[in-house]
Structure 1
Amino acid sequence: MKVYKSKIGMELVIPISVLFSWIIYTSVMEKKWMALLIIILTSAFICYTFLSTKYTIEKENLNIKCGFFVSKNIEIKTIRKISETHNILSSPAGSIDRLEIVYNKFDSILISPKDKKRFLEDLKIINPELEINYRKNK
Structure 2
Amino acid sequence: MAGRNWVEESEIVKVFMAKCRLEVLEGHFTMSVLTIRAHRRYALRMPVRLQGEGRTTAPCLLIELSQQGARLSNLGQAQFQPGDPVRLLTGCGKDLACTVRWAREGRAGLRLDQALHAFEMIELLDVNRREYAAA
By the TM > 0.5 criterion, same fold? no
Report the structure, 1 or 2, having the larger strand content. 2
Tell me the TM-score normalized by structure 2: 0.27
Bigger proportion of residues as helix: 1
Larger Rg over CA atoms = 2
Q: For CA contacts below 8 A with separation 6 or more, give which structure has more relative contact order.
A: 1
Structure 1 length as normaliser, TM-score? 0.27
